[in-house]
Structure 1
Amino acid sequence: MVLTLRYLSPMPQRRVARRRLTAADWAEAALDALRDEGSLSAIAIEPLAARLGATKGSFYWHFANRDALIDAALAGWEARSTEELTEAVAAGEDDPAARGRELLRTMTGLAHRDPTELALLAEAGQPRVAATLERVITRRLEALAALLETELALPREEARSRALHAYCDQLGRAQLARAIPAVLPEAADDEETVIDSAWHSLLGAAAGGQRGA
């Protein structure tokens, strides 16, 4: 009996479709690198490609150069910050105190959880970074000062001064919390306590007054 060997072709492998990276993916990866390293120098094409599991060709499909990527990353952060501020302004419309706390939480609370702003402040010597920070911070200060002026009847210059003081205080607290947390009291880890203290300071009242006042 003659056996006939039949050639069996291998089963075709199913190719898993891979999502094509977008410019937004690259911009977000650039912000992630900035957060991790705290410096614009962390935004480099080859390390980002490795982070994304992509090639340099993917990068150049979306961006002409590294500067264009940095511009996109800054624009993305600014757009996100503006959206968060808009939502905070709309929150608690019938309660100035609630709206003020929400504004403070948006303006400064993120700095305690997200190092992006602190990293950008460290790079403010770069003109493009400084311009972005100026626009974002100016919008935040104007929103908080407007609340103090219109809802709480503070004079315009006084409202602006208090808003700036609160903002600087919270950014400084966030910087200490990341750099040398041991110098801060344990209460500084509680966001609501921090927000309460900042709100009472804005009103010129003693920190630690009744919450909701």
Structure 2
Amino acid sequence: MSQCATILVIDDEPQIRKFLRISLVSQGYNVLEAATGADGLSQAALKQPDMLVLDLGLPDMDGQQVLREFREWSNVPVLVLSVRASEVQKVQALDAGANDYVTKPFGIQEFLARVRALLRQAPAGETQAAAVELGPLVVDLAFRRVLLDGVEVALTRKEYAVLAQLARHPGRVITQQQLLKDIWGPTHIENCHYLRIVIGHLRQKLADDPTHPRFIATEAGVGYRLLT
């Protein structure tokens, strides 16, 4: 990836943001800035940067949460830049989807080298859309909202999680076991009744007739898919 890449820096320290902006711009990168996790997620969704530099100690939400939510809809590289130096914190961030981890204080030349390495490794064209539109149904993965005919639908956490998982792979069958594992955990892969209840509630809220579905189709004995 060329050095005209856009990098979003999410850090609540103005001095750090200024230092990184000057350093990155001097290398030919475009730089976006956010001081909070919510603003960072919003800018990531709207402006679709090529890379994130993420601090974990944000004022409104933990950086680990920002990382988890961002990874629900984007695969672009994330470089964590944090004062948290414990192995546990590093492992949690990497397991949540970070590509690299740099501890503050840091050397700018090493930081820039890691940025270049991540951008070189970044696969082209794999960033997922922040919102999936299927006719009158919109699943906004970035802001965790669901709209039907322009009206927001109130969903529980589990209902949203199931619908979002289907929306990430529209037209593809997602097995019951995979949905149960991803949303309820690996110890619940046999609890198919959990999933049937949630799917039933989703259909009610989306006015989706299971005999003539507009949105959620059942593949008997296998799983479910979101119709495109």
Write 1 or 2 for the structure with the bigger share of helix.
1
Q: Which has the higher contact order (CA 8 A, sep 6+)?
A: 1
Q: TM-score under structure 2 normalisation?
A: 0.24
Q: Which is higher, the Rg of structure 1 or of structure 2? A: 1
Structure number with the higher strand fraction is 2
TM-score by length of 1: 0.26
